[in-house]
């Protein structure tokens, strides 16, 4: 079966702009989580969605937001981009709650803010 798909793979944006990233989970998976991966901080949890509801949120400013659609696809939005937002953004899907069942990761979207 198809794995987790993230689009686009690469993005270059200017400070102050906004960006939307997309994640299509594995068919049948209802939980989608987003992580920010940077060399210094590792993977940091952004938020998790389950059946269109945000169940959990990490310690990121309100500029980071997300949503999940009825088909479980999820989008993440970052507004007023800052240079420090440059990172690899990973999406993970799982059958049940994150942590209770195996998380399957996408290949990520590499965002560069200039």
Partner 1 sequence: AQRVTQPEKLLSVFKGAPVELKCNYSYSGSPELFWYVQYSRQRLQLLLRHISRESIKGFTADLNKGETSFHLKKPFAQEEDSAMYYCASSGFQKLVFGTGTRLLVSP
Cβ atoms of 2 and 26 within 8 Å: the answer is yes
Rounded Cα–Cα distance for residues 86 and 96 (Å) = 30
Residues linked to residue 45 through DSSP beta bridges, in sequence order: 35
Binding to partner 1 by residue 60, rule CB under 8 A? no
- Nearest to residue 20, comparing CAs of 66, 68, 70? 66
Candidates 9, 12, 43, 80: give the one binding partner 1 (CB under 8 A).
43
Binding to partner 1 by residue 48, rule CB under 8 A? yes
- In whole angstroms, the minimum distance from the beta carbon of 73 to partner 1 comes to 18
Stretch that binds partner 1, among 11-19, 43-51, 63-71, 77-85 (CB under 8 A): 43-51
Rounded Cα–Cα distance for residues 31 and 3 (Å) = 14
Binding mask 68-107 for partner 1 (x = CB under 8 A): ----------------------x-x----xxxx-xxxxxx
Pair type for strands 109-113 and 10-13 = parallel
DSSP, res 97:
S
Binding to partner 1 by residue 66, rule CB under 8 A? no
Binding residues for partner 1, per CB under 8 A? 3-4, 33, 35, 40-45, 48, 55-56, 58, 90, 92, 97-100, 102-107
């Amino acid at each position: 079966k198809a794995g987790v798909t993230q689009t686009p793979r690469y993005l270059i944006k200017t400070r102050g702009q906004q960006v939307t990233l997309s994640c299509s989970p594995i068919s049948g998976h209802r939980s989608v989580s987003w992580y920010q991966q940077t060399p210094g901080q590792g993977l940091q949890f952004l938020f998790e969605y389950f059946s269109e509801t945000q169940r959990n949120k990490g310690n990121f400013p309100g500029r980071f937001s997300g949503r999940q659609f009825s088909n479980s696809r999820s989008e993440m939005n970052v507004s007023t981009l800052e240079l420090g937002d440059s990172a690899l953004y990973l999406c993970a899907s799982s059958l049940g709650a994150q942590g209770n069942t195996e998380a399957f990761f996408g290949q990520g979207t590499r965002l560069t803010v200039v």
